[in-house]
Amino acid sequence: MPSGIWVLGFVSLLMDISSEMIHSLLPLFMVTTLGAGTIAVGIVEGLAESLALVVKVFSGTLSDYLGRRKGLALNDHWSVILAGVALWGIHMGMTQGLLATMVADVAPTDLRGTAYGCFNLACGLAMLIASLLAGFLWDRLGAAFTFYAGACFSVLAIIGTLSSPVTQHRRTG
């Protein structure tokens, strides 16, 4: 691999680390330095996360309208394409493979971009609601209760996923 790729990868790694460090400290800064309440932190966090996901509705619809998908390389050599596909596959498998498959299973082929956009819209709205609820629970009942509620919602999500028709079809089919 060219040295430029290694350098860009290392820079990207450092940027991700610094972003995560700041992202994790932002609520603490807002509460202790700015004097914001935990509900305000929930609103800010929810808006930031949901806005990023809501925008994907428009990119998915635009993709369907133009009939073009993302351009994941500038080099068309088979080894570069193979490496890109492998890295992309690992990324998707570790992050959203199951959810993307579920969307693809139920969406018409000509509207898959729109379906993915709507899926991301729902994720963004859910993220906003979850952040607001977490801020409210933290403010009213304390940090421990907020994490217990998150654990309960996770268990409910697992149960819902296991009992969904798509999941049952995949296990039996």
Q: What is the pLDDT of residues 8-38, one digit of tens each?
A: 777 777 777 776 666 667 777 778 888 888 7
Say which amino acid occupies 24.
S
Query: H or E element: which one contains 38?
Result: helix 38-66
For residue 30, the model assigns a pLDDT of 79
Closest CA to 157 of 171, 167, 142: 167
| Tokens coding 144 | 């421990």
Phi, psi of 120 (to 5 degrees): -70, -30
Question: Tens of pLDDT along 88-106?
Answer: 667 656 655 567 677 878 8
Confidence band of 53 (pLDDT split at 50, 70, 90): confident
Distance CA 60, CA 116 (A): 6
Distance CA 151, CA 144 (A): 11
112-141 vs 143-163: helix axis angle to the nearest 10?
150
Distance CA 42, CA 141 (A): 14
Q: What is the pTM assigned to this prediction?
A: 0.47
User: How distant is the alpha carbon of residue 135 from its chain centre?
Assistant: 20
